Chains A and B, each alone.
Chain A
Amino acid sequence: MFEHFFFFLLGHGIYQVEPAWIKYVLCHRPLIVIVGLRIILRSVVRVSLYYVGLTISSSPLTVHDRLNLDEPGLVQALQAGDERVFAAVMDWYSGSLLRLALSYVPSRAVAEEVVQETWMGVFEGIHRFESRSSFKTWLFRILTNRAKTRGIRESRYEPFGLSASSTDADEGPSLEDSLFVAEGSGEGHWIDPPQAWEPDTPERVLLSKECRAAIEQAIESLPATQRQVMTLRDIEGVSSEEVCNILEISETNQRVLLHRARTKVRRELAPYVQGDKR
Chain B
Amino acid sequence: MDTNLKSKLMKYMVGNFTCREIARLVTDYLDGSLTLGERVRFQLHLGLCFACRNYLRQMKYTIATLRQLPPEPVPPHVKEELLKRFRTWKQRPSQSSGKPETD
A residues in contact (CB < 8 Å) with B: 20-21, 23-24, 31-32, 34-35, 38-39, 60, 81, 83, 86-87, 90-91, 94-96, 98-99, 102, 112, 115-116, 119-125, 127-133, 137-138, 141-142, 145, 174, 176-177, 179-180, 187-190, 193-197, 202-203, 205-206, 212, 215-216, 230, 234-235, 237, 240, 251, 255, 258-259, 262-263, 265-266, 269-270, 273
Contacts and interface: CB of A to CB of B under 8 A. Distances in A.
Given A21-B9, A91-B79, 5 more contacts: A94-B78, A96-B72, A98-B72, A141-B103, A188-B21
A95 B78 contact: no
23 contacts: A20-B1, A21-B5, A23-B1, A24-B6, A35-B44, A39-B43, A86-B86, A95-B70, A112-B78, A115-B74, A119-B85, A124-B97, A124-B101, A125-B100, A129-B103, A141-B103, A142-B101, A174-B24, A179-B23, A189-B20, A255-B33, A259-B26, A273-B61
B63 A180 contact: no
A262 B27 contact: yes
B96 to A, nearest CB: 5
A111 to B, nearest CB: 9
A248 B100 CA distance: 19
A213 B5 CA distance: 50
Contacts of A125: 100-102
Nearest to B74: A94
Main secondary structure of the interface of A (DSSP, over half): helix
Main secondary structure of the interface of B (DSSP, over half): helix
Contact of A138 (B26, B55, B59, B101): B101
A39 to B, nearest CB: 6
B21 to A, nearest CB: 7
A130 B59 CA distance: 38
Interface string B66-103: 11111111110011011101110110010011101111
A202 B70 CA distance: 12
Given A95-B73, A262-B59, A205 B65 contact: yes
Interface of B: 1-2, 5-6, 9, 13, 18-21, 23-24, 26-28, 31, 33, 40, 43-44, 47-48, 50-52, 54-55, 57-59, 61-75, 78-79, 81-83, 85-87, 89-90, 93, 96-98, 100-103
Contact of B18 (A99, A119, A128, A189): A189
B74 A240 contact: no
A111 B53 CA distance: 40
A194 B64 CA distance: 18
A112 B75 contact: yes
A124 B19 contact: no
Contacts of A102: 72
User: Closest 8 CB pairs between A and B?
Assistant: A95-B71, A188-B18, A125-B101, A193-B51, A35-B47, A259-B27, A202-B65, A234-B66
Given A125-B100, A273-B61, A98 B74 contact: yes
Given A91-B79, A258-B27, A128 B65 contact: no
A254 B65 CA distance: 20
B5 A235 contact: no
A266 B58 contact: yes
B17 to A, nearest CB: 9
B100 to A, nearest CB: 6
A94 B97 contact: no
A116 B89 CA distance: 13
B26 to A, nearest CB: 7
B13 to A, nearest CB: 8
